Amino acid sequence: PRPADLTGLRVLVTAGGTREPIDPVRYLGNRSSGRQGVAVAAAAADRGAKVVLLAANIDDSVLAEVQDRPGVRTVPVGTTAELESAARAAASGAEAVIMAAAVADYRVADVAEHKLRKEDSPGAAPTLELVENPDILVGLVRERRPGQVIVGFAAETVESDEELLERGRRKLARKGVDLLAVNAVGWNEGFERGENIVQVLDADGRVAVAAEGTKREVADALLDAVRDEFRALNH
């Protein structure tokens, strides 16, 4: 077991995938199971942190890992708007923010009051108009408290490790975070499974930590980088 090296830190973790309603029975979503973010929350609590976990549409079987764990308070959220307001509220009382949630970039412009029916658009498939969601992470960076460490994740479908790092560095610059955990995703990578491969970029785009293994092992390696960054910012 690791030492309680995060004692005294309040850590906000987001996990899972936001869902954007189309009508009362349908939504646009993504394949995030929440496993990686839940593993970060569990590891941080085990290392002494007080954790708020914003859980976007995570199955109870995954949440079981933090259900009765001392030091973790779990708050369920559904849409990106709900995640955004919960994240802004919780971030003001956190020394570190770790955004592992897969956030929908777009939502449906006009959510239908009633279930969309085939007979409503006879002979033609309906078209969904989308509008852009706010970038939660960029907003948190803008409103950050002094000394706060802000960590993003980047999920990329790529052909090579070079492309992964290049896309990660561009995202790092766009988001303005202190650390960016870059992972490849695809039909059989990143999402849902128990293992992950992550490279953590620092603000200069250098690989601070590289980790491969269970999502818990990746979480602990990421938290090593968060701890070091927090100490560097607050010495």
Q: Where does this chain touch ligand PMT (CB under 6 A) — which range of 67-75, 99-107, 114-122, 221-229? A: 99-107
57 annotated active-site: no
Closer by beta carbon to ligand PMT, 153 or else 230: 153
By the rule CB under 6 A, 190 interacts with ligand PMT: yes
Residue from 41, 91, 101, 165 touching ligand PMT (CB under 6 A): that is 101
Q: Which of the residues 133 through 172 are near ligand PMT (CB under 6 A)?
A: 133, 135-137, 152-155
Please pick, among 30, 57, 133, 183, the residue that the annotation labels catalytic. 30
Residue 85, token pair as written in the block: 């307001």
> Could you tell me which residues are beta bridge partners of residue 150?
97
| 215-233 and 35-46 helices, crossing angle to 10° | 60
Across 157-229, the runs of DSSP E, i.e. the strands, are 179-184, 195-202, 207-214
Give the span between the Cα atoms of 49 and 58, in whole angstroms: 22
Q: Least CB distance from residue 235 to ligand PMT, whole Å?
A: 26
Residue with Cβ nearer ligand PMT (48 or 192)? 192
CB of 12 to ligand PMT, least distance (A): 12
Among 32, 57, 74, 79, binds ligand PMT (CB under 6 A): 32
Query: Does 230 appear as a known binding residue?
Result: no
The closest alpha carbon to 45, from 94, 92, 9, 14, belongs to 9
Token reading at 145: 């408290």
Looking up tokens 């409503």 gives 120
What is the residue type of 199?
Q
Q: Which stretch binds ligand PMT (CB under 6 A): 44-52, 89-97, 185-193, 203-211?
A: 185-193
Q: How far apart are CA 148 and CA 10, in angstroms?
A: 10
175 annotated among ligand-binding-site residues: yes
CA dihedral 76, 79, 84, 89 (to 10 degrees): -30
5 is in an annotated binding site: no
Binding interface with ligand PMT (CB under 6 A): 32-36, 99-103, 105, 133, 135-137, 152-155, 183, 185, 190-192, 215
Report, as residue numbers or ranges, the catalytic residues. Answer: 30
